[in-house]
Structure formats: C-alpha cells, structure tokens
Structure 1
Amino acid sequence: MGKDSNSFVHIDSLEELVDTISDLLGCPVTVEDVNFRLLAYSSHEKVTDAGRIATIINRQVPEIIINGLWRDGVIQQLKNSDNPIRVSPIDEAGFGSRIAIAVRNGNDLLGHIWVIGSGHADEEWQTQLLKEAAEAVGIKLLQLRSRRKNEHEGYHRFFQQILSGEINTQERIKERALQVKVSLPPEFSVIVFESPEEISESMYRQIAYLANTSKSVQVIMSSNEGQRLIFLVNPDARKGTPNKNCSSFISSAISQMTEKLGASGFIGGCGCVYSNYRKIQTSYQEALTVIGIKRKLPEETKGIFHYPQLGFLRFIPAILEKNADEAYQNQALQKIGEYDQQGNSNLLKTLEIYLKHDNIKETASALHIHINTLNYRLKRIEEIGEIDLMDPMQKLILYFDLKTEKFLT
C-alpha cells in the first residue's frame, strides 16, 4: 500500500504504536476506549485544536464534544462501520475536522482512533493503513482489557461483599478498599437502576460512561447485575445538597438512557446518604425499596427517587408481611369491592381518587363527573363501607390500605 504498516505487529506499547500511526499519516492521533476515556495520544503537534487539548488534560473527551458526536450521528456510524469515516467540526467545542475509525474485536467495540485534519481518507493506502492500525490497536486494547479484568474481578468481589454485608466493619472495609485501589468518599449513597430486561455488557459500559461524566455525583464503584445497575456514589455537597444531587443524577441518567441509548423502562432509586461505610448495605437495601415501591405505584411516586421521599409508603413491605401473618383485610374496602363486582360500578376507583385529592371539586374534575354525581357516589361509599369520610383517621387508613393492596396485584 505504499507505506510500511507491517511494523505495527512488532510494536510493544500502545503509546509507541500511536506515535507510529501519527508519523505515517503526518497528523496527530489519539486512541480512546469505548467510553471516550483517553488511552494514548501521539507527540505529533503540528496540528491541534482546543478539543484535543481538553481531552488530553482531562484524560476524557469533554461532554460537549460527545453530545455533538451523538447529535451528528458520528457515534452511531462508528458502531456500524469498519471503515474510516470523516467527522465534521463541532465549532462550539473547538473540535476540528477528523478522521475516525472504530477498534473492534469481532463485533465487540473496544474503542476508537481519531486523526486530526482532513487528510486523504479516500486514498486507498491511507484507508488500508487505518484499518491495519485499528487491528493492531485492538490487540493492545484486548491486552489492556485482560489486565483490567483481573483488577475488576477483585473490585467487583469487594463491591459485592460490602453490598451483601459480608464485610461489615469500618476497618475491614477500609483495608479492602486500599487493596483494590478504591478511594472511598467521606459521604456516600447507593443508587440502583432497574431495567425491564437484562442489561448487556455493551449497554452497561455506555450507561457507566454517562454516570462517570455526571456533574451531580461522583461515581466510586459500579456493577451490572443482570437487570440492575448499582452505583456507589459521592453526592458532593459542594455542588448542592446530597439528596438533590442523587435525585438529579437519577432523573438525568434515565432521560439520557432513553434519548441517547434508546433504553426505555428504567426505574431508579437511591438510599440515604451516610458516612459510616458499614451503612453501604443499608443504603443499597433502601434503594431497592424505592424501586420496588415505584414499580407498584408509578403514578404516586413519579417524582420520587430518594428513600426519605417515600414517607409512609416505605412501610408498605413491612405492613404487607404483618397483614399476611394476621390474614388482615380492610372490611370496608372488601364490601365496596364486592358491590362494584355485583353492580358493575366503580366506587373503589372513585374513593381512591377522592382520597388522593381530598377535595370535592378536584376529584370531580379528575373523574370527569358532576359534583352532584360525586357527592352521591361518596354517600353510597360511606353507606356500603360503613365508614365516615369526614374522619381524617379513617381516610388515612383507607388510603394506605388501598395502596398496600396494589402490591398484591
């Protein structure tokens, strides 16, 4: 092809390989992993731009550039093509024109090679050089992945041990964190995302990237557990209140999963913020409680992500267990339900909406009925259920038992 790219095979380090590619092309080159973390960059500095400088300084492609690449369809092209592609400038990010090529191992995307400048990507020799470079870089990234896998196994085992309570003393947790090179923050919370289907490793890496670039929290550890993603985060209080930071992170992450990755149906929840590492398991269980309740009561918990926001709803699992032990049923609701079945009416739904709004006018509007019709229904509900809807305690019990029954359906 007119250039000696066979030397790629004999190059030992990724850094030397990138310099060789840069020398052959006469342009600066960077290599990033699939999450746009900088792995290596050439020392060739004839041409550069603000985007490259920011990437090198931060060891990570800036979010504004990644958003632009998503917007322009570049990331989608890289996922689906083995050939070099031309990348237009992203002016607002100081990102000039580039040629990019995906680095793969079979169908597994490992990373990308980026070449600054327009170059001559249509020339056969350069296209072939970039393909051979991508193959050589792929070998290096597989070796790097193998090393990191060994490190990750120890890290993942440690995360599982503290989530399960297997390691449950402050000193032991600190000791193991040092061994696996995890820097534990002064304060933390556990955040869990749950998907309606199993989360692939590729999807996990993309979501982990979104999490790692968040401005709301700092991700300390993460894990993919089938249909769940678990994050130990530092909800940095310098940027706002910890609780708001966690909720903001969850809301933003779910939006980005849907918009950027096409992953819909995620539910997110987080536990309380603690400073004692023994409470990691507690925060994790609290996050799972949030998700379990949000799954059963989506409307009531639409804006709830943080465990304390659940209020009395957080007691539902414990009450369900006690109700089962005592074979308890709310007799008023049982009578009204039986009446609905016999007369094909909908008094239970009317009661639920009324208890939610606790206001005649708002309830009638929500049900799209006249106030007189609502008043008649409420009178029948009181008669059939033998209840007094003027009694706040009775209304509270009815509302709570209605929500509890939803967990049994």
Structure 2
Amino acid sequence: MRQKHNIFELYADNLEMLAEKLSDVLGRPVTVEDANHRLVAYSSHEPETDPARLATIVGRRVPDTVISSLWHSGVIARLLESEDPIRVPAMKEIGLSERVAIAIRSNTGVLGYIWVVEAEGPFTEEEMGVLKQAAAAARVRMAQWQMQRHKDEGAQADLFWQLLTGHLQTESLVREKAAKIGITLPSLFHVVVLQFASDVKERRQQQVLERFSAEAHFRIVFRAVDKSELVLLCTPLVYKTRTDVVLRLEAMNRNLQAFFKEEYRGLASGGLYNDYSKLEASYQEALLLLQIKQRFQEETAGVVYYADLGFYRYLPLLWQESRKHGSNNECVARLRAYDLEHHSELLHTLTVFLAHDSNVKTAADALHIHMNTLNYRLKRISEVGGIDLTDMDQKVTLYLDLKAEKFGDG
C-alpha cells in the first residue's frame, strides 16, 4: 500500500514555516517548544489565544506556573508516554484554555512538543492525524535544536520535575539522565520547599540563593517554582547527620524570616536520602509538613524537618481511614451534640485538658477558669460522653481523633 504523503515535509528544515503551515491547515494558533519548554516557533495566525500562550511568546519559554501545573495534572507524563496527540483540558487558574498537544519524538526520546489551541471547537480525527504528521516532520530539526541546547537550565529543570513527580523510577535511570545533561548528583540529598505569600519571581529566587550561599552549609543542585513555592534539591556540604542538618535548616529558616518578613510563610524539608528513586518521597514529605504546619501553627511552629513531626505525620492516614469507613468517634459526637443543644463547651474543654497532659491546674489556667469549674466539667464530660478519663488508651484515641478531625476540617 502506498504511504500517504506528509504535507509538512517541505517545511521540516524551518520550524517557523512549519508552525505557520500547520496553523493554516488547522485554522488554530500553534506553538512549538523544545523538551525543556523553551519557545522554538509559533504561528502568527491568532483568531483566539490565551494568557498562557501570550506569556510563553513574550518570555520565550513556558512560565514556571504553567509547567508545574502541567506536571501535577499528569499532562506532561501523558505526553511523554503517548505517540498520539492528547487533549488537554482548560486550566483557567493558569490562563490555559483547551489544547491538543503531541510530543515530537526521536528514537531516543522526546525532543519537544507541538501545542494547538482548540480555538474553534474540538479536533476531528482527521485533524489529529494532521498534527501527528507535523510532529513527524519536525523531528530532524528538533533533534538539531536539542543537540545545541540540551545542557542548560531548562534541561535541569525538566529533569527535576521528572524526579519530583516520580516519573523516573530507578536510581540507575536517574543517574543516566543526569549524566546526559552534564550533572553529577551528590550522594546525599533532601528536598526543601520554601513557601511565600505570593508567586515566586526570578528576583526572589536569586535572593534565596544568596542566603543559602552565604550560609555555606547547603548546595542547591536543582530548583523549581510551583506558584508561591520554591522547591530546592539540597545536599549538605559539611554537616551530614540528621541533627546537624536540622540545626542548619532552623538557622536558615530564621534567616529567611528576618529577610523576607511577612512575605515568607515557612520552610519544610523532606527526609535525607541517598537513593534518587526516593526523591519524590522527600518532596511529598516536605509538602505534607507545610500542610500540617498550616493546620497546627502553634503546635508545629518550630518544626522544619519531616521526621520531627512525630504523630502529626500520621494524621492524614487517620483522617482518610475515618472518611473511608464513615466512622466518627461516638464519644466526640455525643459531646458535640450536647454542646450544640446546651450552648456549653464540653468538647473544647476536653480538647484543652488532653492537650495539657490531663493536668487540671495547667488546663484550668489555659481555659481561664477555676480548677473546681474544670473538675465539674470533666465530670459532665465523663457522663455525657461515656468517657473514662483515667483510661490512657481511651484518652490517646480521643486525642488522635480530635487532631485528625482538625486536620480534615482545615
């Protein structure tokens, strides 16, 4: 059977002309990017566009907020795995309207991407085939582009996002990818996330790097931006025990707080690892620590290292288990119902009492009531809730259930 002619072969040596031709055929705006999300070519045919495309054209690269959202939503992972075009839903929060995208492939991997805005309705199957032809025609020229540029920051950022999202599953594959872009990975690492009150711009990144450089205790291997969060892959330079690393992180946290003041929301570090297949785990630990710190600001104010969370790191699992089985603590439910009916504060009293290690004096002080008043309330708590306040197991269960509930309601 005779192979169908590729209408884009005449434009294979000039990606700008290829983008224009594809746009003419489809009647939609076209953008061509390399594998590191740098702008390579784009069409001038713009019946309709969106902020994400405009920002890419102006900045000559896809904005960090768009890249991070595409990774988190799984769009990039799908593109890396598919040889066919995929539909990308709108993400209004980052200015991205509906698109169809396809990876430009070589025998060794992905060279870049073609993105087409669905400006005039969904793609037909025939249009999907046209886009696939364009990607095939662009392959040789994109390979030349990658050979010229593959060792710059874009390649590093893309590798870092692959690691953060668990796209690279083995230590050997990670080191192979790093070697290809000229990166020597340290033996010990942890992911640190810095959270700010607003989106992280380039100037703020530089200020953070200056602070880390001045301390000279950590080296930043990679960095990425996810809206208001700056994500760093760090390696300790001198002090490599957990205790030493935590002390240095605490000092850095104070330094950043003093420098950025109210714009700074905090620092969180995942665990130390020496296996790069665990990098995603370190990232998720740092994100969970930030989440816990937001829910329990007073209790975890000084915590910067995931393992130091203690039982707080298990609260998401406790909450999920409770939601999964639809089970609530019956003692807590009875106290809440009683408080609602009688406008009392038995549940709050119990929470404070447990938080102060069942010490009547310190709990009464915290509640600003007399010890006799507290003793009376504790008696009513036992009666209404069916609680034995001398039973340690029951108190621990109540304490954890109340904490898990607060985490879920946060």
Q: TM-score, normalised by structure 2?
A: 0.60
In the alignment, which residue of structure 2 is the partner of 1:293? 292
* Matched residue type, 2:251: S
2:151/2:182 contact within 8 Å kept:
no
In the alignment, which residue of structure 2 is the partner of 1:401? 401
Q: Does 1:333 align with 2:339?
A: no
2:192/2:286 contact within 8 Å kept:
yes
Q: TM-score, normalised by structure 1?
A: 0.60
Distance 1:160 1:339 in 2: 50
Distance 1:302 1:166 in 2: 33
In the alignment, which residue of structure 2 is the partner of 1:162? 163
Describe the superposition over 1:102-148 as per-residue Cα deviations: whole angstroms up to 9, x where unpaired.
Answer: xxxxxxxxxxxxxxxxxxxxxxxxxxxxxxxxxxxxxxxxxxxxx99
Describe the superposition over 1:8-31 as per-residue Cα deviations: whole angstroms up to 9, x where unpaired.
Answer: xxxxxxxxxxxxxxxxxxxxxxxx
Distance 2:159 2:262 in 1: 28
Describe the superposition over 1:358-400 as per-residue Cα deviations: whole angstroms up to 9, x where unpaired.
Answer: 1122212222222111111111111111011110011101110
Q: What are the within-5 Å matches in structure 2 for residues 7-406 of structure 1?
A: 151-236=152-237, 238-239=238-239, 241-245=241-245, 247-358=246-357, 359-406=359-406
Q: 1:150 to 1:173 in 2, by over 3 A?
A: closer
Describe the superposition over 1:73-120 as per-residue Cα deviations: whole angstroms up to 9, x where unpaired.
Answer: xxxxxxxxxxxxxxxxxxxxxxxxxxxxxxxxxxxxxxxxxxxxxxxx
* Matched residue type, 2:204: M
1:257/1:264 contact within 8 Å kept:
no
* Matched residue type, 2:402: L
In the alignment, which residue of structure 1 is the partner of 2:104? none
2:271/2:282 contact within 8 Å kept:
yes
Distance 1:366 1:338 in 2: 24
1:189/1:272 contact within 8 Å kept:
yes
- The higher-RCO structure (CA 8 Å, 6+ apart) is 2
Task: After TM superposition, give the deviation of residue 265 of structure 1 in Å.
Answer: 4.5
Structure 2, unpaired ranges of 5+? 1-147
In the alignment, which residue of structure 2 is the partner of 1:30? none
Task: After TM superposition, give the deviation of residue 178 of structure 1 in Å.
Answer: 2.1
Q: Residue 165 of structure 1: SS of its match in structure 2?
A: coil
1:189/1:273 contact within 8 Å kept:
yes
1:191/1:270 contact within 8 Å kept:
yes
Distance 2:344 2:202 in 1: 49
Q: 1:208 to 1:149 in 2, by over 3 A?
A: farther
Task: After TM superposition, give the deviation of residue 197 of structure 1 in Å.
Answer: 2.6
Task: After TM superposition, give the deviation of residue 251 of structure 1 in Å.
Answer: 3.0
1:193/1:269 contact within 8 Å kept:
yes
Task: After TM superposition, give the deviation of residue 256 of structure 1 in Å.
Answer: 2.9
Q: Residue 225 of structure 2: SS of its match in structure 1?
A: strand
Structure 1, unpaired ranges of 5+? 1-146
In the alignment, which residue of structure 2 is the partner of 1:70? none
Distance 1:201 1:347 in 2: 51
Describe the superposition over 1:325-369 as per-residue Cα deviations: whole angstroms up to 9, x where unpaired.
Answer: 111111111111122222222222211111111112221222222
Describe the superposition over 1:136-162 as per-residue Cα deviations: whole angstroms up to 9, x where unpaired.
Answer: xxxxxxxxxxx9997111110010111
Task: After TM superposition, give the deviation of residue 215 of structure 1 in Å.
Answer: 3.5
Distance 2:243 2:335 in 1: 40
Identical-residue share of aligned pairs (%): 33
Q: Residue 408 of structure 2: SS of its match in structure 1?
A: coil
Task: After TM superposition, give the deviation of residue 258 of structure 1 in Å.
Answer: 3.2
Distance 2:326 2:306 in 1: 28
Q: Residue 187 of structure 1: SS of its match in structure 2?
A: coil
Distance 1:150 1:182 in 2: 9
**RMSD of Structure 2 on Structure 1 (CA):** 2.2
Q: Residue 332 of structure 2: SS of its match in structure 1?
A: helix
Task: After TM superposition, give the deviation of residue 254 of structure 1 in Å.
Answer: 3.5
Q: How many residues align?
A: 261
Task: After TM superposition, give the deviation of residue 306 of structure 1 in Å.
Answer: 1.4
* Matched residue type, 1:386: G
Distance 2:214 2:154 in 1: 23
2:315/2:404 contact within 8 Å kept:
yes
Task: After TM superposition, give the deviation of residue 240 of structure 1 in Å.
Answer: 5.9
Q: List, as ranges, runs of 4+ consecutive aligned residues in structure 1 with deviation greater than 6 Å.
A: 147-150
Distance 2:213 2:347 in 1: 46
Distance 1:234 1:150 in 2: 21
* Matched residue type, 1:213: A
Q: Residue 388 of structure 1: SS of its match in structure 2?
A: coil
